[in-house]
Chain A
Amino acid sequence: MGEAYNPYKTAQAQFMKVADLLGLDQSSKDLLGNTQREYHFSIPVRMDDGTVKVFRGFRVQHSDARGPCKGGIRFHPHETIDTVRALAMWMTWKTAVVDIPLGGGKGGVICDPHNLSMREQEGICRGWIRQIANDIGPLRDVPAPDVMTNNQHMLWMMDEYESIHGGRYPGVITGKPVGVGGSLGRTEATGYGLIYTVREAMKELGMDPKNTTASFQGFGNVSQYAISLLTELGSRIVAASYWDQADRKAYTFRKESGLNMEELWPITDKFGSINKDKARDLGYEILDENAWLEQDVDILLPCALENQINADKVKMMSKKVKIIGEGANGPTNLDGDKAIQDRGIYMIPDFLANAGGVTCSYFEQVQCNMNYYWEKDEVLQKLDTKMTSAFHAVHELAKKRKLYMRDAAYVISIERVAHASKLRGWL
């Protein structure tokens, strides 16, 4: 009988690989290979029918060596502490790679919102905060929405936290609507962040954006803003795949002269489904699902689902492809990654490429803490600065150490956390 899959063990193994590469000592491995603090607690909630049900909640703070912990709160019926631990560790590396002064955390409640009314969910949110109110905070640990939680949950949590602490602390939570402590620019952040790194990669590879072509997988929020910005830089985006809600299957739409967001936005719904007929009228061809990846382009940007690109798919890619930027989380599997490395394609790994989102959360927190909110341009400009310098740090390291970009990104983030711990005298 094989053991059940344990995400925490996988995450630890991944860390150990890089730790060995870096030659970290045992105490560093012990500290960073495990979670720094964990809170397990019970949340009694008065249900709609008058009974009380007790829910199990967690908060894991993997490391706050570089700054307050940052990470989402998940509502999931099969939540396990090991899942939460693994995700908290992942958050530490993610904040470190973009070099924002935050650590990694994650939380959750074992519950299924499908079995709960909104009022009961509110009860869970407020109950969760009551248990942990003294161990989180704008300068300690900052939660955000995650699986099956949304902005509404965050507002209830913020409100409860502020009631307990008797003040206004919007920085305790991120992912809030503008006007209640939210930041402008959040919608664009991930897509723009991706293109900032791609732009820098083009510079490094000596490519002129005006002479480059690209193709996207997915047409959600990330892709839409990425296409928009990349077009602005002068590149021609010839194709993107999308999920057709009505047909329940994916297609690729293509226009040799380049996708035009101004004409596409009006025929796109909020799930990134485009109206096929109207697209045809605008001169787009509708091709099959995988066509996006077979295009004769310089840049491929997978911004849809995880585990999409395997070795076979890499074979389908044009010889012309020079850069892959992972807008999605984990779009490439192990085989695929190996094949890409072998082909010498320049890879911008997911936790760097799509870190625009978490960077914007950081900006939200900063703005909240000083109770002064920037204009959108200012947010996006600061985002550019952060992403650009994060990219160059990884790129330099990869070049210097002849590392694959993904490995370089891990190395740099673990190195940063270890270094902070050392400076603090912990190690």
Chain B
Amino acid sequence: MKARNDNKLENLLKDLQERKKELNCLYKVEELLNNPQKPLEDLLRDVLDIIPTGWQYTELCLVRISYKDQVLETPGFEETPWMITEEIRIQEKKAGDLTVAYSHEVPHSQGQIFLEEEIRLLRTIADRLSHTLLHYELKKTFTKWQGIQEDFSHNKLEKWRAIMETLRRSDKKLFIYISRKMLRNLCLSGSEQANKLLKTFNMDQDERRMAVSDDNRPLIKQKMRRLLELSDQIFHLAAETMDEDQILYNIEKWIQEDKSKFLVKAIDNPNSSLHEIIDAITRYRYIEAEGIKLSSSIRKGLRVSLVRRFFYDQLEFINVAKKYIEVRDYYDIVSHIIFHADSRGSLGGKSAGLFLASRILENLTSKYEVFKDIQVPKTWYIPSDGLINFLYYNDMEEVNEQKYKNIEEIRFEYPNLIQIFKNAQFPARITDGLKTAIEDIGDHPLVVRSSSLLEDRLGAAFSGKYKSLFLANRGSKEERLERLKDAIAEIYASTFSPDPIEYRTEKGFLDFNEEMGIMIQEVVGSRMGPYFLPAFSGVAFSNNEFRWTPRIDRNDGLIRMTLGLGTRVVDRVADDYPVLVAPGKPDLRVNTTMDEILRYAPRRADVINLETNVFETINILDLVRHYGPDIPMGHDLFSKVSDGIIETPASAFFINYEKDDLILTFEGLFKRTAFVQEVRIMLEVLQEVLGTPVDIEFAHDGRHLNLLQCRPQSFAEESTPQEIPHDIPAQDILFSADRHVSNGDVPDIRYIVYVDPEGYRKLSERSDLLNVGKVVGWLNQILPRREFILMGPGRWGSRGDIKLGVSVTYSEINNTAMLCEIAWKKGNFTPELSFGTYFFQDLVEASIRYLPLYPDGNGSVFNREFLLNADNQLSRLCGEFSYLQNVVHVIHVPAAAQGKILRVVLNADQERALGYFAVPR
């Protein structure tokens, strides 16, 4: 047994040794090729010498590089039966090859002389050589071109003729292309003769047109000789009508255009794979570096095609993206895509939104100083068809049918499915890519996020259904790679989890072939003790749908933020509160009294524990006590509570993290830094450019604000403005509202709990008033969750004078779908309804809709008759309080409204809301 283990170990060590050799070899080749100063032959010779060091049997290894008519060999090279060859290709044509041979037979397994890794290594070196050779060729042309320019500088008149002559002899295709361009140019400038020539040039084309209409004859091919003759005439004409500089300028431009044709070809061809496109972009990058530029029309075309290939083909998106994303902006992205050989996928919606937003901000940096500070974390991508490829590679295609099973079955099988995914293999090319990513990122913590195609269509309500996983990314490279693969597999599996499938079924998107892009992103943050976390993070919206005071306008926006990872802000958590601020009115806060500020300060933070490698939730106070000085900008984030005063520490000097009573308020950040302004301008600019209100995610590491996500706000389900129907018969309308309306839809309400303002006002015993709150609390427990609404006078949950509104705590109303506070002049339940009920933030966190009703207002409907006359279920549901039946009315809507339910639609754009009886959906 021990011997076997030793043997295993020995093999493993050998493998590792080999990998090291290969990497070393590749590294040296890279180093050489990156030095473009050397003459070509010297360079190739050096490469020749290095290659054997990467092979298992270096001393037996022979190498040959043949390129055009040059052949370079290691001494004693000869072709043997133990040999591999890779082509060197330049501009899609074979230009030579690279061969490695063993001089003698070597030990091998299963008929394979060369290791898999060696074959790949050879391919990589050949690829790299191809690039370098292309670079040399271009450089040669360029130098030649410069030579010609210099030669003719003293004889300007002849300069362009010489070029055309050279072209005519060396590249007839390009010569004719340029002639044609020139002819068109002349025609456009109105030359009659040019028009005549065009006719001749197009004669065959006319014939073709007729042929198309008459019969199906094939095109007649122009005789090359005739075309050349015509070209001469064209340039003759050109010489007569244009000056030399003009001609030269045009020829130069068209030659350059031709040089970059390959890029257009690769990108516009719908069949080209991601690999071909990325290749073309990389090549273009070299050409561009040489100073060759594209015409603006081609550039525009390319930009559109690139957006379509990498992101989406949605017109609204393209229209904006083409203005802000240059070809060169893809250089960085393409070197960070991990893909399989014939991938044709895109990067998915999350990537698209973020990339575009970051380009917009960068483009506008000169106009808005504040954007200078904004960054986007380093990201690697796996395109959307990676999932399909993964399934195919593992023979798991049948998983695709999972979604058609019944939901119980899916739910039952899902845990097992995750394990199947986690045990599946990644294709070698993906694994290699991930290795590169891991090396690039080092041991910085990572987040693996989904960037699916459906997320774009279904919006925020859906995106939360797929996972984002945080990785501490600690340990050896192998361990880190394994954990990364594990996380990707888990996200892939989440495509088949019951929740999204149920949601897709509901929305009719089940048959959509879901593809899942992956983003591997560095987590923004810094180390604080054993933890890694951002100083703060959050989300921000252009439109504020939860305005806590009427003084805040919808377009004042909203920021929800907390310390640590943004997970606590994105997902609503029941027992903690993020800090809210309206960037347009940062001084108007939700929590104003001392008690509120203390009570609603965030208490917990999500962090990555670097020691245990897990994502966890910790108490902010514990973090402060133990690692306070590690928290960046601590004095801007925390306020000190002492002797009944909440104080913002003037500087870090004034904080004692071990002793002070500190609460997270962000006061210093809001008052002393440009943060709020930065977010406000960012929201405004993005909204203006994208033409839609936006929803962004951000994180700050104490040095820079990082943008993590950007998407249209309308994606958020809760903030979609609803169509207000105009054809509802008067008897079916329960109420309408036209002030302080947010957006949303509260469908299928089956019960109404109505506290009549008049009845409430008449109660004189304090205990009776308190009992109204108790009844509401009891009903909240027994009525179906989110299928009832509460309507009643004044400010609910008021801690002050109970007469001003129903006295309830949050837990007594937490199951309602909506709370309508009724302002009624008669009972002094007016003039100012308070959005700022102290549990307002609880409502926000629980997504309970809030709507103030002003029945005395002009034109507003309030059908009190219905509410008072409908059968009151109060005695049946809580007999104990039946004496309050003139105050509390519980209405079963279907029974009182002929089988209909109550539906409330809210539209903030129109400042209108309507509650009406409708047929259940």
Q: Is A151 an interface residue (CB 8 A)?
A: yes
CB-CB nearest in chain B for A152: B645
CB-CB nearest in chain B for A117: B587
Which residues of the other chain, B, contact A249 by a CB distance below 8 angstroms?
811
Which residues of the other chain, A, contact B725 by a CB distance below 8 angstroms?
none
Q: Mark A178-220, 1 if CB is under 8 A from B, else 0.
A: 1100100000000000000000000000000000000000000
- Smallest beta-carbon distance B317→chain A, Å: 37
CB-CB nearest in chain B for A175: B644
- Tell me the complex Cα distance, A270–B597, Å: 12
Q: Is B800 an interface residue (CB 8 A)?
A: yes
A310 x B767 contact (CB < 8 A): yes
Contact of B803 among A5, A178, A310 (CB under 8 A): A5
B549 x A246 contact (CB < 8 A): no
B810 x A248 contact (CB < 8 A): yes
Contact of A115 among B551, B646, B811 (CB under 8 A): B551
B834 x A77 contact (CB < 8 A): yes
Which residues of the other chain, A, contact B646 by a CB distance below 8 angstroms?
152
B550 x A115 contact (CB < 8 A): yes
A113 x B593 contact (CB < 8 A): yes
Q: Is A22 an interface residue (CB 8 A)?
A: no
Q: Is A147 an interface residue (CB 8 A)?
A: yes
- Tell me the complex Cα distance, A121–B589, Å: 12
With A2-B762, A4-B761, A112-B834 as contacts: A117 and B588 at CB distance below 8 Å: yes
Q: Is A333 an interface residue (CB 8 A)?
A: yes
- Smallest beta-carbon distance A93→chain B, Å: 20
Q: Is B105 an interface residue (CB 8 A)?
A: no
Q: Which of B586-616 contact A (CB under 8 A)?
A: 587-590, 592-594, 598-599
Which residues of the other chain, B, contact A290 by a CB distance below 8 angstroms?
none
A270 x B803 contact (CB < 8 A): no
With A182-B643, A248-B809 as contacts: A78 and B836 at CB distance below 8 Å: no
Q: Which of B727-776 contact A (CB under 8 A)?
A: 761-762, 764, 766-767, 770
- Smallest beta-carbon distance A154→chain B, Å: 9
Q: Is B835 an interface residue (CB 8 A)?
A: yes
Q: Is B642 an interface residue (CB 8 A)?
A: yes
- Smallest beta-carbon distance B590→chain A, Å: 8
- Smallest beta-carbon distance A406→chain B, Å: 17
Q: Mark B786-821, 1 if CB is under 8 A from A, else 0.
A: 000000000000001101100001110000000000
B592 x A307 contact (CB < 8 A): no
A5 x B764 contact (CB < 8 A): yes
Q: Is A119 an interface residue (CB 8 A)?
A: yes
Q: Is A48 an interface residue (CB 8 A)?
A: yes
Q: Is A271 an interface residue (CB 8 A)?
A: yes
Which residues of the other chain, B, contact A54 by a CB distance below 8 angstroms?
none
Q: Is A116 an interface residue (CB 8 A)?
A: yes
A112 x B836 contact (CB < 8 A): yes
B828 x A4 contact (CB < 8 A): yes
CB-CB nearest in chain B for A246: B575
A116 x B588 contact (CB < 8 A): yes
A307 x B593 contact (CB < 8 A): no
Which residues of the other chain, B, contact A77 by a CB distance below 8 angstroms?
832, 834
Which residues of the other chain, B, contact A145 by a CB distance below 8 angstroms?
644
**Quick one: which of A116, A119, A121, A271 has the most chain B CB within 10 A?**
A116
Instruction: Report the count of interface residues on B (CB-CB < 8 A).
Output: 41
Contact of A178 among B549, B551, B643, B801 (CB under 8 A): B643
A78 x B548 contact (CB < 8 A): no
Q: Is B827 an interface residue (CB 8 A)?
A: yes
**Quick one: which of B549, B592, B593 has the most chain A CB within 10 A?**
B592
- Tell me the complex Cα distance, A385–B641, Å: 31
- Smallest beta-carbon distance B640→chain A, Å: 12
- Smallest beta-carbon distance A142→chain B, Å: 17
A114 x B549 contact (CB < 8 A): yes
Which residues of the other chain, A, contact B767 by a CB distance below 8 angstroms?
307, 310, 333
- Tell me the complex Cα distance, A1–B137, Å: 99
- Tell me the complex Cα distance, A271–B550, Å: 30
With A78-B801, A175-B644 as contacts: A115 and B588 at CB distance below 8 Å: yes
Contact of B548 among A114, A120, A150, A182 (CB under 8 A): A114
- Tell me the complex Cα distance, A121–B835, Å: 18
B770 x A307 contact (CB < 8 A): yes
Q: Is B661 an interface residue (CB 8 A)?
A: yes
A1 x B644 contact (CB < 8 A): no
Contact of B800 among A5, A147, A175 (CB under 8 A): A147
- Smallest beta-carbon distance A70→chain B, Å: 18
**Quick one: which of B550, B764, B832 has the most chain A CB within 10 A?**
B832
Which residues of the other chain, A, contact B811 by a CB distance below 8 angstroms?
248-249
Q: Is A76 an interface residue (CB 8 A)?
A: yes
A4 x B827 contact (CB < 8 A): yes
Which residues of the other chain, A, contact B803 by a CB distance below 8 angstroms?
4-5
Q: Is A35 an interface residue (CB 8 A)?
A: no
Which residues of the other chain, A, contact B549 by a CB distance below 8 angstroms?
112, 114-115
Which residues of the other chain, A, contact B585 by a CB distance below 8 angstroms?
48, 117
Which residues of the other chain, B, contact A115 by a CB distance below 8 angstroms?
549-551, 588, 832, 836
Q: Which of B177-208 contact A (CB under 8 A)?
A: none
Q: Is A148 an interface residue (CB 8 A)?
A: yes
B835 x A271 contact (CB < 8 A): no
CB-CB nearest in chain A for B830: A78
- Tell me the complex Cα distance, A147–B798, Å: 12
Which residues of the other chain, B, contact A175 by a CB distance below 8 angstroms?
644
With A148-B593, A249-B811, A310-B767 as contacts: A271 and B828 at CB distance below 8 Å: no
Q: Is A118 an interface residue (CB 8 A)?
A: yes
CB-CB nearest in chain A for B832: A77
Contact of A112 among B590, B801, B810, B832 (CB under 8 A): B832
B643 x A271 contact (CB < 8 A): no
Contact of A2 among B592, B764, B766 (CB under 8 A): B764
Q: Mark A110-135, 1 if CB is under 8 A from B, else 0.
A: 00111111111100000000000000
CB-CB nearest in chain A for B592: A113
- Tell me the complex Cα distance, A76–B766, Å: 20
Which residues of the other chain, B, contact A76 by a CB distance below 8 angstroms?
800-801
- Tell me the complex Cα distance, A2–B769, Å: 14
- Smallest beta-carbon distance A76→chain B, Å: 6
- Tell me the complex Cα distance, A75–B587, Å: 18
Which residues of the other chain, B, contact A270 by a CB distance below 8 angstroms?
598, 641, 661
- Smallest beta-carbon distance B846→chain A, Å: 12
- Tell me the complex Cα distance, A249–B814, Å: 13
- Tell me the complex Cα distance, A150–B641, Å: 12
Q: Is A44 an interface residue (CB 8 A)?
A: no
Q: Identify 11 new A-B residue pairs, CB closer than 8 A, beyond the known A1-B762, A114-B592.
A: A76-B801, A77-B832, A116-B592, A117-B585, A117-B587, A118-B587, A148-B592, A148-B593, A150-B593, A245-B599, A310-B767
Give 9 closest A-B pairs by Cβ, nearest first. Answer: A114-B836, A117-B587, A177-B643, A151-B644, A113-B592, A115-B549, A248-B811, A2-B762, A150-B594
A-B contact pairs, 10 of them (CB 8 A): A77-B832, A78-B801, A113-B593, A114-B549, A114-B590, A115-B549, A117-B588, A148-B592, A151-B644, A177-B644
- Interface of A toward B, CB cutoff 8 Å: 1-2, 4-5, 48, 76-78, 83, 112-121, 145, 147-148, 150-152, 155, 175, 177-179, 182, 245-246, 248-249, 270-271, 307, 310, 333
